Amino acid sequence: MADTTATTRGGRTRTVRQPSRLRWPLRIAVIVYLGLLVVWPVAIVAFKTFERGLGPVLEALGQPEVVFAFELTVANAFWAVVINTVFGVGISLLLVRYEFPGRRALSALVDLPLSVSPVVVGLALLLVYSGRTGWFGPTLERLGLQVIYAQPGMIMATAFVSLPLVIREVVPVLHEIGTDQEQAASSLGASAWQTFGRITLPAIRWALVYGVVLSLARSLGEYGAVKVVSGGVALRTQTATLLVEERYSQFGADATTAAYAAAFVLALLAVVALVVVSVLRPSDHDR
Amino acid sequence: MTTAVTPSASDALAGTAASEDTPTPGRSPRGRRRRTTLTRASAIGLGVAMLWFSLLVLIPLVAVVVQASSGGWAGYAEALTSPQTLAALELTVGHAVLVTLVDVVMGTAIAWVLVRDSFVGKRVLEVVIDVPFALPTIVAGLVLLSLYGAGSPLGLHWANTSHAVTLAFLFVTLPFVVRTVQPVLMEIEPEVEEAAASLGASRFTVFRLVILPSLAPAITSGAALAFARAISEYGSLVLLSGNLPYSTEVASVRILSFIEGDQLTAASAVASVLLLVALVVIVGLEVVSRRVARHG
Condensed to tens digits (0 to 9), the pLDDT of residues B242-275 reads 888 898 999 999 999 999 999 999 999 999 999 9
Best of A21, A37, A96, A246 to mutate (most B CBs within 10 Å, chain B): A37
* Sequence-ordered strand ranges (E) for A32-144: none
- Residue window 197-226, chain A: list those with CB within 8 Å of chain B: 207, 210-211, 214, 217-218, 220-224
Contacts of A36 in chain B (CB under 8 A): 147
The pLDDT of residue B295: 63
pLDDT, mean of residues B168-186: 93
Q: Which residues of A touch B106 (CB under 8 A)?
A: 30, 33
How far apart (Å, rounded) are the C-alpha atoms in residues A38 and A275?
16
Q: How far apart are CA B6 and CA A10, in angstroms?
A: 9
Amino acid at B11: D
Torsion on CA atoms A156, A158, A164, A165, rounded to nearest 10: -150
Backbone Cα Rg of chain B:
22
- The residues, any chain, with a CB within 8 Å of residue A111's CB and separated by 6 or more, are A164, A168, B15, B18, B19, B282
> Is A138 buried (19+), middle (13-18) or exposed (0-12) by CB count in 10 A?
middle
Mean pLDDT computed over B112-134: 87
pLDDT in tens, B192-227: 888 888 888 888 888 888 888 888 888 988 998 899
Tell me what pLDDT residue A282 has. Answer: 58
Spatial distance between the Cα atoms of A206 and A191, rounded to a whole number of angstroms = 24
Task: Calculate how close chain A gets to B181, using CA atoms only, in Å.
Answer: 13
Would you say residue B284 has pLDDT above 90? no
State the pLDDT at residue A276: 84
Q: Which of B34, B113, B138, B274 to substitute to test the interface with A, most A CBs within 10 Å? A: B138
Q: Which residues of chain A have pLDDT under 50?
A: 1-16, 284-287
The complex's ipTM works out to 0.86
> Please, are residues B167 and B241 in contact by the beta-carbon 8 Å criterion?
no
> How does DSSP classify residue A244?
H
Average of per-residue pLDDT values in chain B: 84
Cα–Cα distance measured from residue B180 to residue B115, given in angstroms and rounded to the nearest whole number: 12
Closest CA to B227 of B88, B135, B99: B99
Domain that holds residue A211: 37-281
Q: Which of B143, B206, B270, B276 to mutate to test the interface with A (most CBs of A within 10 A)?
A: B143
Please tell me what DSSP assigns to residue A282: G
Q: What's the Rg (C-alpha) of chain A?
A: 23
On whether residue A93 sits in a domain, the answer given is yes
User: How far is A273 from A216, CA to CA, in rounded Å?
Assistant: 8
* CB contact (8 A) between residue B252 and residue A119: yes
Q: In chain A, which residue's Cα lies nearest the Cα of B102?
A: A33
| Section B101-120 average pLDDT | 92
Residue A149 DSSP symbol: T
- Scanning A47-106 for CB atoms below 8 A from B yields 48, 83, 87, 90-91, 93-94, 96-101, 104, 106
CATH number at residue A242: 1.10.3720.10
Q: What is the mean pLDDT of residues B24-39?
A: 57
Say if A191 is an interface residue toward chain B (CB within 8 Å): no
Give the number of other Cβ atoms within 10 Å of residue A111's Cβ: 21
Q: B295 to chain A, minimum CA–CA distance in Å?
A: 20
Count other C-beta atoms under 10 Å from residue B187's C-beta: 18
CA A202 distance to own-chain centroid: 22
Nearest to A185 by CA among A177, A195, A175, A176: A195
Residue A1 lies in a domain: no
Q: Note the Cα B39 to chain centre separation in Å.
A: 36
Is residue B269 within 8 A of residue B65, CB to CB? The reply is no
Pick from A57-66, B16-25, B115-124: least confident = B16-25
pLDDT band at B28; cut points 50, 70, 90: very low
Structural domain contains residue A9:
no
3-class DSSP assignment, residue A144: coil
For residue A20, being part of any structural domain is answered with no
Q: Which residues have C-beta within 8 Å of that of residue B160, sequence separation ≥ 6?
A: B241, B242, B244, B248
Q: Measure CB to CB from residue A37 to each of B42, B58, B171 and give the nearest one.
A: B171
Number of domains in chain A: 1
What gap in Å lies between CA B67 and CA B57, rounded to an integer?
16
